[in-house]
Structure 1
Amino acid sequence: MNVSTTVQRDLLYVIAGHEDPTERTLKRTLESYYRTEIRPDRLASSLDALCQRGLVERVDRAETNYSLTKRGRHEIEARREWESGYFDPKRENK
């Protein structure tokens, strides 16, 4: 996966799960999941990095929204395929 932090990876998933979410929506969703505050500068730098890598694009509206690019969707699909090679929820631990 072409991301360097877990926040960037998780942002890809959150953006994929919403229709053009705002930074505010992304921040609230991650904070709820992590159960801690996400600093605005960390969120902004993570989103900038994803945009620079071509995984996410900014959609200009009254508020800045974000959408997943085809490349971003491909990265998620590749990650899920990779994960499935190591984790099968149907398999029992032995």
Structure 2
Amino acid sequence: MDELTGFQRDLLYVIAGADRPSGQDIKGEVERYYSTDVNHGRLYPNLDTLVNKEYVEKGQLDRRTNYYAISDRGQRSIENRRDWERQYLETNR
């Protein structure tokens, strides 16, 4: 996961926390978190990167709408990231 940008990690977390969200669902969640608009030219290339790197699987809901789902690799990467973060957060208490 270390090769992902912060934005890509945020997308991955949103996908992991939802049940097969569409690109628009993901966009809405990220916009709420960032409190700003996220344009399609930023969103979809980054989603494609996550698919190409096999962190996320992409499927089709209908002719116009895709869904995204966390892959096994993506889930393991999130768990590893949490373990890495936890070692620093717990030692500072």
Task: Note whether the superposition's TM-score is higher than 0.5.
Answer: yes
Give the secondary structure class of the aligned counterpart of 2:88. Answer: coil
Structure 1 pair 2–55 and aligned structure 2 pair: CA distance change class (3 A): farther
Identity, in percent, stands at 40
Task: Look up the match of 2:15.
Answer: 15
Superposition RMSD on alpha carbons, in Å?
1.6
In the TM superposition, residue 2 of structure 1 has moved relative to its aligned partner by 4.3
Structure 2 residue ranges without an equivalent (≥5): none
In the TM superposition, residue 4 of structure 1 has moved relative to its aligned partner by 2.4
Residue 46 (structure 1) aligned with residue 31 (structure 2): no
Give the secondary structure class of the aligned counterpart of 2:16. Answer: helix
Structure 1 pair 40–59 and aligned structure 2 pair: CA distance change class (3 A): same
The 5 Å alignment of 1:1-94 reads 1-62=1-62, 63-88=65-90, 91=93
Structure 1 residue ranges without an equivalent (≥5): none
Whether the 8 Å contact between 1:3 and 1:9 is mirrored in structure 2 is no
- Separation in 2, partners of 1:66, 1:16: 9
Whether the 8 Å contact between 1:2 and 1:75 is mirrored in structure 2 is no
Counterpart amino acid of 1:72?
G
- Separation in 2, partners of 1:71, 1:2: 13
- Separation in 2, partners of 1:84, 1:17: 19
- Separation in 1, partners of 2:54, 2:22: 18
Aligned residues: 91
- Greater helix percent: which structure? 2
